[in-house]
């Protein structure tokens, strides 16, 4: 007599394999999602830096332009500003929330000179994403912005 169907042990083994595969897939998907969020934040910072440099080189308002990262009056924000230094009372301010942690050695503001686009203080914006990976955006003395995706 032939029994058709699966035994209880076969069903449990098949379910265990499926649950294991789904668990691994979810972990990979969640980590990929977190990495994508960090890449999007990095691209946002680069876009704001390029925008500020472009406005400075175009001599908009006849002043230098810059980006402040995590200023005291806008915690966890990027602020694009006009002028030689960040002043919350002057210039155009654009704030955007972010979810990255800056490292202690990171620049807190980048100012680009009008017409030349040179950076007043070359350095790096360093931050750590939710996966613990450090990311870096470099700004050299000529205002060149380098980053690695």
- Per-residue model confidence as pLDDT tens for the chain (149 residues): 567 788 889 999 999 999 998 888 887 787 788 778 878 888 888 999 999 999 999 999 899 999 988 787 877 778 889 999 988 776 566 656 666 677 766 888 999 999 999 999 999 988 887 777 788 999 999 999 998 76
pTM surpassing 0.75?
Answer: yes
What is the residue extent of each domain of the chain?
Answer: 9-147
Rounded to a whole number of angstroms, the CA Rg of the chain reads 24
Q: Which residue has the tokens 């472009």?
A: 54
Q: Are strands 145-147 and 101-102 parallel, antiparallel or unpaired?
A: unpaired
CATH 3.40.50.300 is the classification of domain 9-147: no
Helix count (H) and strand count (E) of the chain? Answer: 1, 8
Q: How many Cβ atoms from other residues are within 10 Å of residue 128's Cβ?
A: 15
Residue 23: what pLDDT? 87
Query: Within 13 Å, how many C-alpha atoms sit on residue 65's CB side?
Result: 25
Q: How many Cβ atoms from other residues are within 10 Å of residue 20's Cβ?
A: 10
Look up residue 114 and give its two tokens: 């009008």
Residue 18: what pLDDT? 93
């Amino acid at each position: 007599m032939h029994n058709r169907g699966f035994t209880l042990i076969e069903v449990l083994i098949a379910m265990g394999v499926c649950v294991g595969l789904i668990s691994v897939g979810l972990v990979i998907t969640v980590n990929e999602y977190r990495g994508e969020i960090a890449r999007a934040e990095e691209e946002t910072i680069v876009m704001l830096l390029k925008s500020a440099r472009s406005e400075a080189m175009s001599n908009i308002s006849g002043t230098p332009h810059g980006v402040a990262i995590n200023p005291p009056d806008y915690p966890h924000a990027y602020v694009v500003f006009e002028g030689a230094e960040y002043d919350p009372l002057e210039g155009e301010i654009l704030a955007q929330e972010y979810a990255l942690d800056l490292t202690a050695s990171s620049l807190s503001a980048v100012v680009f000179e009008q017409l030349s686009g040179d950076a007043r203080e070359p350095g790096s914006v360093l931050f750590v994403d939710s996966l613990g990976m450090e990311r870096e955006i470099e700004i050299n003395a000529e205002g060149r912005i380098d980053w690695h995706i």
